[in-house]
Structure 1
């Protein structure tokens, strides 16, 4: 079981590394955020299965993460329609 926790922590920190290094493109940032959310969900699922808890909170977490992904995708589509690309440098000119 310790292998799962090490693997999930490795997934989380690799997602953070990609999020920090690919900050120019909004699409890559959103993909790394979804990878981080996926690793957090799997970590939560493993923790709840180890402690013999109910899985109701994991469904709430999954619902909120899907809503977050849909909002990020709508922002990306809106930005591509107005600016023509997904560079973060052009996003600062929208304000």
Structure 2
């Protein structure tokens, strides 16, 4: 039940605080941490191996490093730090 509320509040935060790229990345990391905690407790309650949790953590680290490198590239090259100023075409 706690994880459900955490996930809902994180998704609401992602919707309402989506103007700045760094805040969007932080909300995505909170969603990742909530899912990891839920995943860890699920594996712990059924006495499964935790190797899948380590793989999930590695994927989260890669996702966060790619997001931060994209943020640094956007700020240095074009001074774009706001999501609304992206031009995808």
TM-score norm. by structure 1 comes to: 0.87
1:70 aligns with 2:70: no
More helix, by proportion = 1
Deviations 1:3-56 (A, max 9, x none): xxx222211111111111112111000000000000000000000011111101
TM-score norm. by structure 2 comes to: 0.92
1:46 aligns with 2:41: yes
Preserved CA contact (<8 Å) 1:83 1:90: no
The number of residues matched between the two structures is 89
Structure 2: gaps (5+ residues):
none
RMSD over aligned Cα atoms: 1.2
Runs of 4+ aligned structure 1 residues displaced above 6 Å come to: none
Structure 1: gaps (5+ residues):
1-5
